[in-house]
């Protein structure tokens, strides 16, 4: 009985030590950078539909330092496996938010251009131009029929 309890106690101690070594405390600068990225992502997720170009530039500027810290930590291999997973997760989440926002921006721009094209096509100037083209086509057809009788 004592042996089973000892084995369980040792196993729990080993698991706790492994958990602590895989990112329990970790590097404060890395944890701060991850936290800054997560807070920025949360803000973007809440406001992505109303963010202006200036907002995106400010966000980019705000995240320069945290991104540089995380990139350097990965390049120097100075992070634990758990920290690598956290950095990867926050990076993927950030890229997903940026991609979604970019798609919305593209879609909004296409909608605006589509409306502008519709307005142009329905304008009086376009209608007049189409009438002139139709007249020109009829004259060309008449000319071709006169010069190439069947």
**Tens digit of pLDDT for each residue in 25-79?**
568 999 999 999 999 999 988 887 788 878 888 888 999 999 999 999 999 988 8
Report long-range pairs for 42-48 (Cβ below 8 Å, ≥24 apart).
44/97, 44/98, 44/101, 45/97, 48/97, 48/100, 48/101, 48/104
Write down the pTM of the prediction. Answer: 0.55
Cα–Cα distance, 64 to 46 (Å, whole number): 21
Nearest to residue 83, comparing CAs of 14, 13, 28, 12?
28
Number of domains in the chain: 1
Q: What is the pLDDT of residue 22?
A: 46
Residue 77 carries which DSSP code? T
* Domain containing residue 58: 2-147
pLDDT band at 5 (very low <50, low <70, confident <90, very high): low
């Amino acid at each position: 009985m004592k042996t089973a309890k000892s084995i369980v106690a040792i196993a729990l101690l080993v698991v706790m030590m492994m958990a602590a070594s895989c990112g329990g405390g970790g590097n404060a600068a890395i944890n701060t950078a991850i936290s800054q990225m997560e807070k920025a992502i949360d803000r973007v997720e809440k406001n992505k539909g109303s963010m202006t170009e200036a907002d995106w530039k400010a966000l980019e500027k705000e995240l320069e330092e945290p991104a540089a810290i995380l990139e350097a930590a990965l390049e120097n291999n100075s992070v634990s496996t758990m920290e690598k997973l956290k950095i990867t997760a926050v990076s993927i989440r950030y890229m997903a938010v940026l991609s979604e926002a970019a798609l919305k921006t593209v879609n909004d721009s296409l909608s605006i251009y589509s409306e502008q094209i519709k307005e142009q096509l329905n304008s009086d100037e376009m209608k007049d131009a189409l009438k002139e083209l139709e007249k020109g086509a009829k004259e060309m057809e008449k000319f071709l029929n006169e010069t190439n009788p069947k």
